[in-house]
Amino acid sequence: MAHLRVLLDGQPAHAVPASDRGMQFGDGLFETIRLVQGRAPLWDRHMARLREGANRLGLPLPSDDALAADCHTLAAGHHGIVAKIILTRGDGGSGYRPPQRPVTRRIVIARPLPPVDVSPLTLGVCETRLGHHALLAGLKHLGRLEQVLAQRELAARGLGEGLMLDQDDAVIEATMSNLFVYRDHAFVTPPLDRCGVQGVMRAAIIDMLKAQGSDVRLARVELHDCLVADGLFLCNAVRGVQPVGELNGRHWSQVAAPIKALQTQVMQLLGIMDHQPGAT
């Protein structure tokens, strides 16, 4: 795939109208979906999160069939793609006030699958903090400026990813992924009721661990908890499970066996067939 391919309301496009409320105000939602050979193993979870977000924002939602058709149109002829679905409130309204009868605009963008490197990550800790927004917590809404600023500072430090804390010093997530801490045979992931994104991969992993009888908990995580853990990993719906090898001078020389087993399980789920670094 030489370049991005875009559908706007189901038709090929290269631009979005300047009047679009998503562009003007971040008034909308998005999902980033991995498709391999036309199959999106987390599709139902993505659609459930999209429905929840649309309900909370009062945004009319296109049918699952329309969204699936757009994704499959863009995936045709390719082994795999990452499809980004963007839904905005469309045009209209007076300033911030939305129109009474919004017409949702759907934008679907396809890009190539990124390389998946299974080697452990080196993380930093971002100075940019996540604010508490109870009305928006958990949603994958279009307002991502906190993550943009965090990635800007990570780039200046030569790092690709970092942990983000909230205003009360709790570790919430990474800029593009959710976090799990493994210690004393238990998995802990932070609650996301005040900020952060309710990741679909995070939800799938929680269900996997519970089905296997593992001890998995939602609990406050502080930076100290990460540094004394037996292992850490990040997860998202495109790259799967990514173990952490270094954080703030703490090194994990080996990936804990339960994390490695989970990584393999998730790779199989996502259609990542080759477990070598650089595999797509």
Over the stretch 184-222, which tens digit does the pLDDT of each residue have?
999 999 999 999 999 999 999 999 999 999 999 999 999
* Rounded CA separation 166/70 (Å): 36
- On average, the pLDDT of the chain sits at 94
Residues 6+ apart with CB under 8 A from 5: 12, 74, 109, 110
* Rounded CA separation 179/160 (Å): 15
pLDDT in tens, 238-277: 999 999 999 999 999 999 999 999 999 999 999 986 433 3
Predicted structure pTM score: 0.94
pLDDT in tens, 89-113: 999 988 999 999 999 999 999 999 9
Helices of type H across 114-270: 145-156, 200-211, 223-227, 257-270
- pLDDT confidence tier of residue 3, bands split at 50, 70 and 90: low
Mean pLDDT of 67-96: 95
Helices of type H across the chain: 21-25, 43-57, 64-75, 145-156, 200-211, 223-227, 257-270
Q: Answer yes or no: are the C-beta atoms of 182 and 241 closer than 8 Å.
A: no
Mean pLDDT of 110-126: 93
- For the chain, which domains are there? 5-112 (3.30.470.10), 121-270 (3.20.10.10)
pLDDT at 162 over 70: yes
* Rounded CA separation 100/199 (Å): 30
